[in-house]
Amino acid sequence: MKNIKQEKTKVAFKRFGALGLACVLSVAIALTIAFVVPKNDGVDVSTLPLDFNLPMENATVVKDYADNRLQYNTTLERWDCHLAVDLASDNLAVMSIYDGVVESVVADSLNGSCVKIAHEGGYTSVYGSLDKVGVKQGQRVKKGQQIGEASDSAGNENKTGGHLHFTLFKDGWEVDPNLYLDLQNK
């Protein structure tokens, strides 16, 4: 009788053990994100000191900013926070949201080609998943100046199709671009 119970336990663990382990790991990752990822608490977003442009004309929000809930990433097939706004448009031109200086132009397999621009007031804008980048590090750019084109170069979101992965920072902290850009009707 003891062998039958042990055998049933082994069979049950083989069937459901991996699933249970996957669930426990998923919960652990979600809790880690919730408690370890820095939040933008203390950043005053009640005033709009700068008049930012939209980074694309006639854009649609493909995936919105989410720092307090998980969203499914179809490319990576996992749930995660999305600390940016993904925009798509028939017009692929991506423009600087404000005057600034290009801090960096880098490319990697996860984010594609990215341009980082420092603006006055402690703001930094990052434009990811770009193609045809037309600016260089150290270059001054004007509000509305084209810096590249939206593409599917970001390996971590390439199933999204051609889009701009736009991130905004205030004093080094990621902030919700919806609080600074007129994205509500997009």
Q: What is the CATH number of the domain that holds 163?
A: 2.70.70.10
> 53: which 2 tokens?
């442009």
- Tell me the C-alpha distance between 123 and 63, whole Å: 22
| 17 and 92 share one domain | no
pLDDT band at 51 (very low <50, low <70, confident <90, very high): confident
Instruction: State the pLDDT at residue 91.
Output: 92
Do 117 and 108 meet the contact criterion of CB atoms below 8 Å apart?
no
- Tell me the C-alpha distance between 6 and 8, whole Å: 5
pLDDT band at 165 (very low <50, low <70, confident <90, very high): confident
What are the Cα distances from residue 145, in Å, to 55, 122, 135, 182? 9, 20, 10, 18
SS3 173: strand
The tens digit of pLDDT for each residue in 95-138 reads 999 999 999 999 887 778 899 999 999 999 999 888 899 999 99
Is position 32 within any domain? yes
What are the Cα distances from residue 151, in Å, to 2, 28, 68, 84, 101? 62, 33, 27, 16, 23
| 160 and 74 share one domain | yes
Instruction: State the pLDDT at residue 85.
Output: 84
Is position 133 within any domain? yes
Count how many domains the chain has: 2
Is position 21 within any domain? yes
| 129 and 174 share one domain | yes
Domain span at residue 20 reads 1-36
| 72 and 159 share one domain | yes
- Tell me the C-alpha distance between 144 and 96, whole Å: 5
| 66 and 1 share one domain | no
